[in-house]
Every structure is written in structure tokens, then in C-alpha cells.
Structure 1
Amino acid sequence: MVKNMTEFEPKEKFKHLAEIGPNVLQCIACGDCREQTDYTSDPPKWGVCVSKDHTSGFEPYFGRGKMQIIRSLWQGKLELSKEMAEVIYQCPTCNACSEACAYDMDNVALYEALRAELVDAGCGLEAHIPMNKAMVELLNPYERDNKLKSKWTEKIDFKVKDANTEQAEYLYFVGCTAALTPDIEKVAIDTAKILNKLDVDFSTFGEHEVCCGSVGMRTGDRKAFNSVAAKNYELIKKSGVKKIITSCSGCYRTLKIDYKDYFDELGVEVLHTVEFLDKILKEKNIELKNLGLNVTYHDPCHSGRHVGLYEEPREILKKIANLTEMKTIKQAAKCCGAGGGV
């Protein structure tokens, strides 16, 4: 039992943790964030923490231990250190621990705030520095020429509006990965083709598109994140667009949640591609041909547990293929391991 609540007030130097508030006090150290199996639930919950599964599994690697670290920091029993960072950055911020938590704690918000404290104290991971530096200076984290962001448009046979100079109802926010990775550019190409086929009035920022800042936010570099977020705010404000579509789950989560204050001010709505397509197919009563394929679907952490987008992709897949679900889906889906700066 907490006898003296003031002893858990965040120290003045922990400004990022202080912004989250004392919800770390809700943690009763039950351990459900480590491992939980309930075969009667729908969907079933299996082993919760992927960090626990792929490390030594000691307390600091899953939610309960991280909560204790934050408490100890607030009490002055621990100091920020590079050793602490090595543990904290093993987490892909998949948010499975929050789903398992009986008290609905926003664990990821606390982890990201702790990472921001580590970065501000000079204890962040050195491997993240070039990535976030490139994100600010080159407008993408891949250290590539941002002019290449429009190269994928050479592979389509119609003109895409330039959001910098032309008005459109929707902005297609492509994202750095689809725009700059040849193996993945098909996502951008096919999305644009679908939008064009549906006569959707859309534009892109092309080579002027700025990274959404997800990698900066997830890794704790708030300065880098705020820099690109401010640029995006100005670009979108100038364009006058009120609806944004994106196919990237990382961009979707960032624009929808981390940009909430920005976009509430501008009156901007953010939609994932599958969310938009599910809506427009129903509105226009469009029937799709079932291709007879057997497919499954992996719920991305950022669009799934972070935002709650589960049904729309399944609705679309069921129209065109035979959907076979994996054992762990939706809230219980297994993280791919690529998030959170891991």
C-alpha cells in the first residue's frame, strides 16, 4: 500500500513522465503484462510480452518491471543511465501489455516518456542518433534524397495531384518506407491505382513529403519529432486538406494520435487506407470479385492495439478471398518485432 503519495510525485527533472501523470501508481504488479493465457476469451490471449520471450525474461524486460523502474526514478532510488536504456529499448512498444492490464494502463505512453527522459539525459541509444538526425535534416530516416519520394509515380499511367500547388479532397500520405523502399513501393503504387479507379480526388506531397516523425516519437527524441511535426503542420495547413489517407500503420498511429492536437485545430480527419476503402465500398455499394485465394491477416500493432482498427481490413479481405485467421489475432496478435526502435 502507498502510505505517502507525495513520495511518488515525479521529480521536477522528469518533465516527460510528469506530463503523463501518476498512472504508474495504478500498477498492482500482478504480472498479467508478462504472461497470460485465457482459452475462453475471444480472441484468446497467449504469452503477452514479446520482450520477455526474446530476452532473459527478467522483470525490467516487461511491463511490471518497467513500472517499478519509473517508480524508483520518481523516488530518487535510481538514476537514468545507458545501462537502463539497453533494457528499456528492448521493448517494441507493441502495447500488448496495456491490452492485458486489468487497469487499462497506457503503458506505451509511459515507456515513451521514459525514453524521452533517457534521450534528454544523453542516455539514448547511439544507433538511433543518425536515424533521427536524417529525419530532421533530410526529411526521412533512411538517409536518402527526399526527391526520390516521387519516383514511384513513374510507374503509374496517370497524374497524381501535387498537394503543394493543387487542391484535392484527400491527401494520400505515402510515408517514407513505401516511397523510398523499392521492395515496398508497390504499396504506394497500388494504393494510388485503387484511389484512381474509384475516382477519388487525391493528392500527395511527393518529394516534399516530410516524415511523420514516428521513429523520433517511439525512440524518445521529442526534439526531432517536434521538428518534423511542425513542418507537417505547416504543409497541411497551407494545402487546406481536411482528410488524410495513409497505408502505413506507423504513419496512421502517429498522425491520428500524436498529431491529435495539431489536427483537431485544423479539423483534419486521418483514415487508414482499409478504413477508407471499407467506407467507400459500402457507400457506393461496390461488389468485389472473390479471387478464391486463401489468405490470413496480421494485425499491425500500430493500427491494431494502438488505435483499434480490426474489423475493416477483415471486411475487405472477406469480399475478395477466403480469410483464415491465425490463433492469436486482434488484441492478442503477435508483434512483428520491428517497432519501437528495436
Structure 2
Amino acid sequence: MKISCQELAESCTLCGVCAEVCPFFKATGNIKYGAMEKVDAARRLFKGERLGDEDLKTLMLCTRCDQCHASCPINIPISEIVQGARAELRRLKMVPEKYNTIADSIINKGSPMGTPPEKRRDVLPEGFSPPEKAKCLYVAGCWAGIKLQDAARASIELLRKAGVDFTFLAEKEWCCGLFLIDTGMMNEVKALAEKNTLLFEATGAEKVITECPSCYDVFKEVYPKLFRAPKYEVVHMSAFLKELIAEGRLKVNRRERRIIYKEPCPLVRRYGITEEPRDILKRIGTLLEYDENRTETLCCGAPAGVKPLYPDIANVLARMLLDEAEAKKADLIGVNCAFCEYHMAGACADQAKAARIKTMSQLVLDSLD
């Protein structure tokens, strides 16, 4: 039987182990914004207490990165408690208006930013028309597909160079709905699960290759629970690239460059995908590590509504990552998430430094014979 978010919150002993691992404690130095305080605020909300502004801020300052869950000695999924609390706040009509704007854009226009869907077609190279059917389907996601189109272009070029039989939905591609999940709008996500699963299956694809780690998470774990098991396998682009390189379909060269790897929270903490990207980076340059890496990796600070509500605090975390990369004399920052790149580049005062943040596909493309 599924345990409710209220029961999860009540099961927490408030031992404090998670308190200081929360990115927002690290960004602010204020324990009020740590993970334990989020559980406490959720508990009181579920019991009917009307929360004040600081409690609401505590619940909104959460990217659902799961660093607290990874540290919890009794395995409590605190991000699920936050999700449930946000759903309750929505029921009480207490969510920020920006949340409603983003949700409406996803539901009605197909992306958090509300960009016309036709914009997604701009990533296609001249003369390339994706077939209706193929063995693989490439899903760019919203950030690579709309805001950071060079990331999607790099992946598409690599798939073509490797001779992969693939297609791309272009303007038919729709947001996975992660933000709706983050804010507890599960009925709306259920509709998206059916819509996108059927859309993907209509291509006949055996593999759905995702650029975005959050799309990977949603397609792989959330959609099957809300709709049904799909007729395709979900693969992240970095894992697929490793296969293509191992098979000799992409021939990469090692260059004299120091690359520090910023891993995405969902891949490492929910799926343990840590070594595949590192194996690639070791083949194309010298791999550097952040002090906090793998399951302890520091979130970039942007997801789950934090960036639009609290951009200054989100930018503190991005700059912590940028500063450490500079201190370690990294030539490049390798990211495995286009949203991480978008956010970190936006936090750079120096555009030359922003240009050194690259996705795995961009780094691999630059390393080909």
C-alpha cells in the first residue's frame, strides 16, 4: 500500500542528518531552508496549520534534487513530501502565480517557456527531414530543443554521423511535465503520460533517447505508473553515446583539455549513472572532479520552480560550481543536462566563461576525427 506524503512526513524523526546537505542551506547559510525544516513545514501544513511566508519559502526552495534522501538513515524520500505539500498548497490556492503561468504554458503550449512549438524544428540541419518511423526516437526536451539548440543540434549530428536509424518529432514534441510533477499536478501529468507514450509508440521506435535527464526519469519511472509500460526502452543520450563510441561508430580523439564533470541529480541519485559519462570524458580529455561528486553532487539550483521564484539564490549555487571549476583550472565544464548549462551560463558575468560550459554531445562532437 502506498504511504501518503503526510505519513512519510510523520515518519521522519527530525534527526537532522539531512539538514546541512540541502543545497539551499549551503547557498544561504540559513538552516530554515534546509531539508529538515521542509519536512517540519509540510507536517504542519498537512495537519491544517496555515503557513506563514517563511514556511512557504522553505517549501518553494527545493529543487527535489534528492540529496537529502541520499543522506537519510531511514530512507525517507523528502522530495516526495515536498511534492505533496506543494499539491496541498495548490488545493488551498496558495501557490505563487508564476507556478500557474508555467503550468499553463506546459499544458497549452508544450513547454515551460510557452515558445511556439514550431521553434523546435530549428534544430534540424538543412535538408534533413526526420522519417515517420525509425528504430530510435531522439527527444531533445524543452531546454535543448528550444533554449540551447546547439546542444540538440550536436546530438542530432552525432546520431547522423554514427548512422543511427532515428527520427525526431520536432514541433510535435511536448514537455514531459516535470514541473507539473514537482508542483503536485499529477492529474495533468497522467494526461501527458498517455499523450506522449502513444506519440512515441507511433514512430515504431524500439529506443527513446533523451537529451534531458529529467525526461529520462519521467519517461522511465513516472509514465508507466500513471499510464502503462511502454513498448520502447528509455535511454539517456550519454549512455547511448558510450555505446556508439565502444562500437567504433563514433571515433573520438583525446585532446589536451581539462574537463570538470557536473553530473545531473536525477541520473546519479535515482539511477546510479555515474561512470558512463566519466568514461567518455576520460577518452576525450583529462577528467577533473568536483569535491562533491556522484551521490553527493551539488545541484545547480534551478529546477522545480526555484529559478523563476528565487533567481538570486539559484545563482549562488551556480556560481559555487563555476568558482570551483575555475579554482581547479578546468578548461571546460562538462554537463549532462541542458538546463544545468542554461542556468550556469546565465549565472556567468563573463560570456567567455559561459561558452566553456558544454553538454556531452557538444564535447564528443568536438572530439571526432
Q: TM-score, normalised by structure 2?
A: 0.76
Aligned residue in 2 for 1:8: none
- Which region of structure 1 is more displaced relative to structure 2, 106-115 or 187-196? 106-115
Of the candidates 254, 260, 266, which is equivalent to residue 302 of structure 1? 266
List alignment gaps of at least 5 residues for structure 1.
1-16, 36-47
Deviation at 1:160, TM superposition (A): 4.3
Aligned residue in 2 for 1:178: 144
Pairing of 1:299-338 with structure 2 (within 5 A): 299-338=263-302
1:120 correspondence with 2:91:
yes
Aligned residue in 1 for 2:209: 245
Q: Decide whether aligned partners of structure 1 residues 285 and 140 sit closer, same or farther in structure 2, where only a CA change above 3 A counts.
A: closer
Letter in 2 for 1:176: C
- Give the Cα separation in 1 of the matches to 2:303 and 2:68: 15
Per-residue CA deviation, residues 100-119 of structure 1 (Å, 9 max, x unaligned), is 11112211122112211211
- Which region of structure 1 is more displaced relative to structure 2, 317-326 or 64-73? 64-73
Pairing of 1:28-177 with structure 2 (within 5 A): 28-35=13-20, 48-55=21-28, 57-59=30-32, 61-74=33-46, 76=47, 78-79=49-50, 84-153=55-124, 156-157=125-126, 159-162=128-131, 166-177=132-143
Deviation at 1:241, TM superposition (A): 2.3
- Give the Cα separation in 1 of the matches to 2:273 and 2:15: 28
The answer to whether the Cα contact below 8 Å between 1:242 and 1:266 also exists between their aligned partners in 2 is no
Aligned residue in 1 for 2:181: 217
Q: 3-state DSSP class of the match of 2:271?
A: coil
Deviation at 1:122, TM superposition (A): 1.0
- Give the Cα separation in 1 of the matches to 2:199 and 2:35: 38
Aligned residue in 1 for 2:235: 271
Q: 3-state DSSP class of the match of 2:235?
A: strand
Deviation at 1:21, TM superposition (A): 7.2
Q: 3-state DSSP class of the match of 2:81?
A: helix
1:282 correspondence with 2:246:
yes
Q: Decide whether aligned partners of structure 1 residues 51 and 202 sit closer, same or farther in structure 2, where only a CA change above 3 A counts.
A: same
Q: 3-state DSSP class of the match of 1:93?
A: coil
Q: 3-state DSSP class of the match of 1:22?
A: helix
The answer to whether the Cα contact below 8 Å between 2:14 and 2:36 also exists between their aligned partners in 1 is yes
Letter in 2 for 1:32: V
Deviation at 1:312, TM superposition (A): 0.8
Per-residue CA deviation, residues 244-270 of structure 1 (Å, 9 max, x unaligned), is 101112222222222233675223211
- Give the Cα separation in 1 of the matches to 2:256 and 2:98: 45
Q: Decide whether aligned partners of structure 1 residues 119 and 242 sit closer, same or farther in structure 2, where only a CA change above 3 A counts.
A: farther
Aligned residue in 2 for 1:195: 159
Deviation at 1:202, TM superposition (A): 0.7
The answer to whether the Cα contact below 8 Å between 1:244 and 1:268 also exists between their aligned partners in 2 is yes
Deviation at 1:213, TM superposition (A): 0.7
Q: Decide whether aligned partners of structure 1 residues 223 and 264 sit closer, same or farther in structure 2, where only a CA change above 3 A counts.
A: closer
Q: TM-score, normalised by structure 1?
A: 0.81
From the CA coordinates, give the structure whose radius of gyration is larger.
1
In terms of fraction of residues, the more helix-rich structure is 2
Q: 3-state DSSP class of the match of 1:305?
A: helix
RMSD after superposition = 2.4
- Give the Cα separation in 1 of the matches to 2:25 and 2:195: 37
Q: Decide whether aligned partners of structure 1 residues 34 and 223 sit closer, same or farther in structure 2, where only a CA change above 3 A counts.
A: same
List alignment gaps of at least 5 residues for structure 2.
307-369
The answer to whether the Cα contact below 8 Å between 1:139 and 1:228 also exists between their aligned partners in 2 is no
Report how many residues are paired. 305
The answer to whether the Cα contact below 8 Å between 1:274 and 1:313 also exists between their aligned partners in 2 is yes
Identity of paired residues, percent?
Answer: 28
Deviation at 1:273, TM superposition (A): 0.5
- Which region of structure 1 is more displaced relative to structure 2, 122-131 or 283-292? 283-292
- Which region of structure 1 is more displaced relative to structure 2, 260-269 or 121-130? 260-269
Deviation at 1:226, TM superposition (A): 3.1
Deviation at 1:314, TM superposition (A): 0.4
